[in-house]
Structure 1
Amino acid sequence: MDNHRTAPKEQPLRHLLDPSYPLCREDVLWALGFIKKKVADRAPEWSGLDRPQLLAHFACFADMALLLLHRRSPSSHETACFRSMLSELLPRD
């Protein structure tokens, strides 16, 4: 029996957090949509964040959205920031 209790919607998210996995445009689009939905649903994972953390997440979200608009690939710093933000959407074990 499989002991992993990862919800199906979290499986792509866990995949994107793998540092050896190169992010592609479709991945970033999916993740931005996922974040948008979580924020709209008032994600409990982010309810305890202070204002500076929320602003940092917003800046990272906006940077990735702008990269898509300008059809640029994210730098290693931008990818690390994005993955860090995404990791906070996973439930804590």
Structure 2
Amino acid sequence: MISHSEQPLRRLLDPSYPLCREDVLWALGFIKKKVADGAPEWSGLDRPQLLAHFACFADMALLLLHRRSPSSQETACFRAMLGEFLPRDLN
């Protein structure tokens, strides 16, 4: 069963769904809250994985500040990071 908070994630993970500014803002806020709450999905990640996720998070935040659209590589990285928050059987 997909929780209420996971429904927008499912949409954002769809490669055919174009990311817009509001979606990225929502996702960055969601990630920030989950990490601050000690999300078990990320508690087992090693340091290189955490740093990669941080770099992706920072890249998307900077894109918003500069009002630039993400490249396909940046979008793929962001979607992969968001996928970490979904249960493995729904990914």
Moved over 4 A (4+): none
Letter in 1 for 2:13: L
- C-alpha root-mean-square deviation of aligned residues, in Å? 0.5
Q: Distance in 1 between matches of 2:34 and 2:10?
A: 16
Query: Is 2:45 aligned against 1:49?
Result: yes
Greater C-alpha radius of gyration = 1
> Structure 1 residue 90: deviation in Å?
0.7
Query: Is 2:80 aligned against 1:84?
Result: yes
Q: Under a length normalisation based on structure 1, what TM-score does the superposition of the two structures give?
A: 0.94
Letter in 1 for 2:59: D
Q: Distance in 2 between matches of 1:49 and 1:15?
A: 24
Which stretches in structure 2 are left out of the alignment for 5+ residues?
none
Q: Distance in 2 between matches of 1:36 and 1:51?
A: 17
> Structure 1 residue 89: deviation in Å?
0.8
1:63 to 47, 50, 59: 59
Percent identity over the alignment? 88
Q: Report how many aligned residue pairs link the two structures.
A: 89
